[in-house]
Amino acid sequence: MSTHVFITRHIPDSGIKLLKKHKSIKLDIYEKDQQIPRKELLKRVKGVDIILSILTERIDAEVFDAAGPQLKMVANYAVGFDNIDLKEASKRGIMVTNSPHPSVSESVAEHTIALMLALAHRIVETDKFTRAGKYHAWGPQLFLGTDLFGKTVGIIGTGRIGEGVVRRLHDGFNMKIIYTDLKPNKKLEKETGAIYRNLNQLLKESDIVSVHVPLLVSTKGLIGARELKLMKKTAFLINTARGPIVQEKPLVKALMKGDIAGAGLDVYECEPFIDCDPSDNLELRKLTNVVLTPHTASATLNTRQAMSQVAAKNILAFLKGEVPPNKAG
C-alpha cells in the first residue's frame, strides 16, 4: 500500500530524491514555482496521507477537512510552525514537524550582519547613485556612513541565530554585546562578555537592535511605537525573524520622522505584501534609509538543500513508526 505525499511547492531536490528512493511513496508536487493558490491547495490535498508544506501556506482546519481523515502528517519546510494550526492538528492526531538545520542559523546570522553593514555603509544608496552615473569625483563628505566597530548591539533573543550573530560581531567587530531573553544566557555571557538587559534598557542603549525571537502570541507586535521611541535616533533596527514581531506603521513613521536612523528587513508584518495598507501613504519601499530583502536570509544552496533533507527524513522516520526528530512540541 502506497503513501501519498503532496508537496505544496517544488523544494530543492535532495529531499525529493530521498523520498523517491522508496517505492511505497507516491509523490505529487505542485508544478508551478509560485505560492499555490488556496483553492488549488484545498483541491490537491484531497486524499493525501502526508503534506509537505511551505511556510507560505496556512495549514489549518479547512485544509485538514479538505484532505480527509486519512491525513496523518504535515512536514513543514520551515524553521518554525507559525503557518500551521498546531492545536487543530493535535486534536486530530496529525503529526507536525519542521525542518531546522544548523546551516539555517549560520545563513541567517550572516544575512543579519549583511543588513547591518549595508545600512551602516549605505551600500544600497551608493550603488544606486553610482549606477545612475552621478559619481564624478571623490568627496570627503560623500555618503558618510557609520562604523560598526566598537558600537553596542542589542540582541533580542539568543537562540541559535541570535547567538550566531553575537559571536560574529564580538569576534569580528569588537562590538559591545547586550541582549535580552526569557532568562540570562550564562554560557554566552562567559564566552563573549554579553550583558543581560531587559527590553527597555536594551532599546535605549543599543546602536543596532537585532530581532531573533520566534513569532508567538507574546512576541507579536513586540516592537511598536513605544519601543521605537526608546531607541537612539542614530540606531538601526534589523529584523530577520518574523515580520509581525515589528509593527509596520509605527516603524515607517519612526523612520520618516528620524526617530531611528534606519532599518534592515528580511520579513514583513503583512508578508508577502511589503505594504500593509497602500492607502495610508506609509510605504517602506519609498524610504532611502531602509534595506529590504525578500525573506531570503536562509537562501543559500547548502541551507535550502539541508532543509529539504530534514523535511524528507522527518517523513521517513514517521513512516518507519519512529518519532521524527523535529516533531512539534
Question: Which are the catalytic amino acids?
Answer: 242, 271, 295
Q: Could you tell me if 224 and 250 are in contact, meaning their C-beta atoms sit under 8 angstroms apart?
A: yes
Listed as own residue / partner, the contacts of 139-143 with beta carbons closer than 8 Å and 24 or more positions apart are none
Q: Could you tell me if 64 and 89 are in contact, meaning their C-beta atoms sit under 8 angstroms apart?
A: yes
For residue 24, give every residue at least 6 positions away whose Cβ sits within 8 Å of its Cβ, in sequence order, or none: 1, 2, 3, 319
For residue 189, give every residue at least 6 positions away whose Cβ sits within 8 Å of its Cβ, in sequence order, or none: 195, 196
Closest of 208, 213, 204, 203 to residue 182, by C-alpha: 213
Dist. CA 311–CA 8, nearest whole Å: 13
Sequential DSSP letters for 76-132 = EESS--TTB-HHHHHHTT-EEE----HHHHHHHHHHHHHHHHHHHTTHHHHHHHHHT
Give every strand in the sheet of 208-211, ordered side by side. 195-196, 176-180, 152-156, 208-211, 236-239, 262-265, 290-292
Dist. CA 70–CA 214, nearest whole Å: 31
Cell numbers standing for residue 192: 563573549
Q: Could you tell me if 162 and 156 are in contact, meaning their C-beta atoms sit under 8 angstroms apart?
A: yes
**Amino acid, single-letter form, for residue 40:** E
Q: Could you tell me if 135 and 129 are in contact, meaning their C-beta atoms sit under 8 angstroms apart?
A: yes
